[in-house]
Amino acid sequence: MFLLTSLSLLTLIITILIMFIASFLSKKMLLNREKMSSYECGFDPKSSARFPFSLRFFLIAVIFLIFDVEIALIFPLAFIIQFSNIFSWLFTGSLFIIILLFGLYYEWSQGALEWKE
């Protein structure tokens, strides 16, 4: 029991020591204006590189990613038709596509697919 306690304490001390050393070494001592600015081929930047990101574009990208993953989930349906019952295959595939269509209709009705407002 003493061995387990001492090893746990030693592990805790080593972990805290490593975390302290890592946080001390990761601190930036000097904040230089040139290093913090964006680099544009040696020229002074025309404007700030940290402009606000379009939330509409981000939403379209997330919707594309969701539907892209769902399309990747449909592909195995073509290979599994040989090994399954045709009625269960049709039911599963149709249900999945219907859920996709309802999701698409919902996004369309909420105006998430409209680029211009």
What's the whole-model pTM score? 0.48
60 alpha carbon, distance to own chain's centre:
14
pLDDT at residue number 35:
64
Percentage, residues of the chain above pLDDT 90: 20
pLDDT at residue number 29:
57
- Whether residue 47 contacts residue 70, with contact meaning beta carbons closer than 8 Å, is answered with no
The rounded mean pLDDT for the chain is 81
Residue 63 lies in a domain: yes
Residue 3 lies in a domain: no
pLDDT in tens, 53-63: 677 777 788 88
pLDDT in tens, 37-77: 666 566 665 666 566 767 777 778 888 888 888 888 888 88
Residue 101 lies in a domain: yes
How many domains are contained in the chain? 1
DSSP string computed for 19-73:
HHHHHHHT--S---HHHHSPPBTTBPPSS-S-PPPPHHHHHHHHHHHHHHHHHHH
**Closest to 78 in 3D by CA, of 69, 89, 67:** 89
Structural domain including 79 reads 55-109
3 alpha carbon, distance to own chain's centre:
43
Residue 103 lies in a domain: yes
Residue 66 lies in a domain: yes
